[in-house]
Amino acid sequence: MGKKVDVNFFPDEVSLAAAQKRGTDSNSIVIDLQFVDFKKGDYRLKPSSKPKYFTYRDFPVSGFGTRIAAYKKLAAPVPLPAILISAATGKGDMMEWKGAKVKNIEGLGERSATGLPDEKGAYFVEVPTSSEAHKAGLRSNDVVLQLDGQQIASAKAFFSVYQPIAWRTNLKVVVFRNQREQEIVLK
């Protein structure tokens, strides 16, 4: 147990490539993760989603967290993600990042509202002042165009670029804010 940890399942090629670029996951694969009930936190895989050439066993997630009754009463529920990021490709898909609502720029109305010439970038529709995203430096109606020197074409691209560098601080970001590009540093 624990001797070989590079046989993992990734939801998309971008995520797998990022991991392999870091020198991990040489034996990992991409599969279409079809969860039993994603919205309710049932992350067991449907039989149609299980990989053919790997041994895979679902395990119960109900045993995670504190087991002491007094602590269970104090524990806050873990918020479930609204949408699986790898599945967020449709129009209107809103994702969450550090308390902010993020989506793709869609249509002339959103382009006009943000002042963008095209539909590229990750649109931070709502960034509450109490959120971690706001503390990091983002604001409502910001559109992230670049992260750590990489172009961001969509909300999904933002997550794919951010995931492998999430541990870093002081990330350089180009945002479209108040009708112009600005460089900020995410804290």
Tell me which residue has tokens 């949408």: 83
Do both 33 and 110 map to the same domain? Answer: no
Residues 33/9, Cβ–Cβ less than 8 Å: yes
pTM of the model: 0.60
Residue found under tokens 């449709």: 90
Does residue 80 lie in a domain region?
A: no
Residues 50 and 117 reside in one and the same domain: no
Q: What span, in angstroms and rounded, lies between the C-alpha atoms of 33 and 86?
A: 9
Count the Cβ atoms, other than its own, within 10 Å of residue 133: 22
Provide the H-helix boundaries in the chain.
Answer: 13-21, 69-74, 107-114, 132-136, 155-162
Boundary residue ending a domain (74, 94, 119): 74
- pLDDT tens string 119-170: 999 999 999 999 999 999 999 999 999 999 999 999 988 988 888 888 888 9
Tokens of 145: 């165009």
Task: Count CB-CB contacts under 10 A for residue 134.
Answer: 17
Domain that holds residue 23: 9-74
Domain-located, residue 79: no
- Tokens describing residue 18: 């990022």
Residues 116 and 55 in one domain: no
Residues 102/94, Cβ–Cβ less than 8 Å: yes
What is the domain-level CATH number for residue 131?
2.30.42.10
pLDDT tens-digit map of 27-70? 888 887 788 887 777 778 888 776 766 677 777 766 677 778 88
